[in-house]
Amino acid sequence: MAARIYLTPGRSHRVLRGHPWVFRGEIARIEGNPADGQCVELYDARERFVGMGMYNSRSQITVRLYSRQLELLDERFLSEATSRAIAYRRALHGPEDPPAERLVFSEADGLPGLIVDRYQRHLVVQTLTAGMARVEEVVVSILQEQLNPEGILLRNDAPVRHWEGLERAKRLARGSYQGPLQMSLLGVPTAVDLWEGQKTGLYLDQIENYRLVASLAPGRRVLDCFCYQGCFALVCLRQGAREAVAVDQSVESLARGQQSAQKAGLSVQWVQANAFDWLRESERRKDRFDLIVMDPPSFTKTKEQRESALRGYHELHIRALRLLSSGGILATFCCSHNIRLADWQELIGNASSDTGVPLRFLGFLRQAKDHPSLVHVPETEYLKGFLLERAS
Ligand code: SAH
Give yes or no for a contact between 197 and 218, defined as CB atoms under 8 angstroms apart.
no
Residues in contact with ligand 1 (CB, 6 Å cut-off)? 198, 203, 206, 226-229, 231-232, 248-250, 253, 274-276, 295-297
Ligand 1 pocket mutation, candidates 228, 260, 330, criterion most atoms within 8 A of CB: 228
Residue 379 has, within 13 A of its CA and on its CB side, a CA count of 14
Tell me how far the alpha carbon of residue 312 lies from the centroid of ligand 1, in angstroms: 14
pLDDT by residue, tens only, the chain of 392 residues: 799 999 999 989 999 999 999 999 999 999 999 999 999 999 999 999 999 999 999 999 999 999 999 999 999 999 999 999 999 999 999 888 999 999 999 999 999 999 999 999 999 999 999 999 999 999 999 999 999 999 999 999 999 999 899 999 999 999 999 989 999 999 999 999 999 999 999 999 999 999 999 999 999 999 999 999 999 999 999 999 999 999 999 999 999 999 999 999 999 999 999 999 999 999 999 999 999 999 999 988 777 788 889 999 999 999 999 999 999 999 999 998 888 899 999 999 999 999 999 999 999 999 999 999 999 999 999 999 999 999 98
Instruction: Report long-range pairs for 21-25 (Cβ below 8 Å, ≥24 apart).
Output: 21/61, 21/63, 21/64, 21/65, 22/53, 22/61, 22/62, 22/63, 22/64, 22/65, 23/60, 23/61, 23/62, 24/60, 24/62
pLDDT of 28: 98
Ligand 1 pocket mutation, candidates 227, 256, 278, criterion most atoms within 8 A of CB: 227
pLDDT of 319: 97
Tell me how far the alpha carbon of residue 247 lies from the centroid of ligand 1, in angstroms: 8
Closest CA to 387 of 324, 328, 317, 330: 330
Look at strands 221-225 and 289-294 and give their pairing: parallel
| pTM of the predicted model as reported, rounded to 2 decimal places | 0.96
Residue 123 has, within 13 A of its CA and on its CB side, a CA count of 25
Number of H helices, E strands in the chain: 10, 20
pLDDT of 77: 98
Cβ-proximal residues to 336 (8 Å cutoff; 6+ apart), any chain = 298, 299, 300, 301, 309, 382
Give yes or no for a contact between 202 and 179, defined as CB atoms under 8 angstroms apart.
no
pLDDT of 179: 86
Q: How far is CA 221 from CA 10, 217, 290, 385, in A?
A: 57, 8, 5, 20
Catalytic residues: 335
pLDDT of 302: 75
Closest CA to 321 of 333, 330, 312: 330
pLDDT of 325: 98
Element (H, E) at 154: strand 151-156
Q: Whose CA is nearest to atom 3 of ligand 1?
A: 228
* 390 three-class SS: strand
Give yes or no for a contact between 115 and 126, defined as CB atoms under 8 angstroms apart.
yes
Q: Please identify, by atom number, the ligand 1 atom nearest to the C-alpha of residue 253.
A: 13
Q: Please identify, by atom number, the ligand 1 atom nearest to the C-alpha of residue 274.
A: 23
Give yes or no for a contact between 368 and 316, defined as CB atoms under 8 angstroms apart.
no
Tell me how far the alpha carbon of residue 216 lies from the centroid of ligand 1, in angstroms: 22
Give yes or no for a contact between 254 and 223, defined as CB atoms under 8 angstroms apart.
no
pLDDT of 304: 78
Write the DSSP symbol of residue 305: G
Q: What's the N-to-C CA distance of the chain in angstroms?
A: 67
Tell me how far the alpha carbon of residue 331 lies from the centroid of ligand 1, in angstroms: 15
pLDDT of 225: 98
Tell me how far the alpha carbon of residue 227 lies from the centroid of ligand 1, in angstroms: 6
The CA distance from 71 to 373, in Å, is 24
Give yes or no for a contact between 204 and 102, defined as CB atoms under 8 angstroms apart.
yes
The CA distance from 392 to 388, in Å, is 12
CA 75 to chain centre: 27
Q: Whose CA is nearest to atom 15 of ligand 1?
A: 250
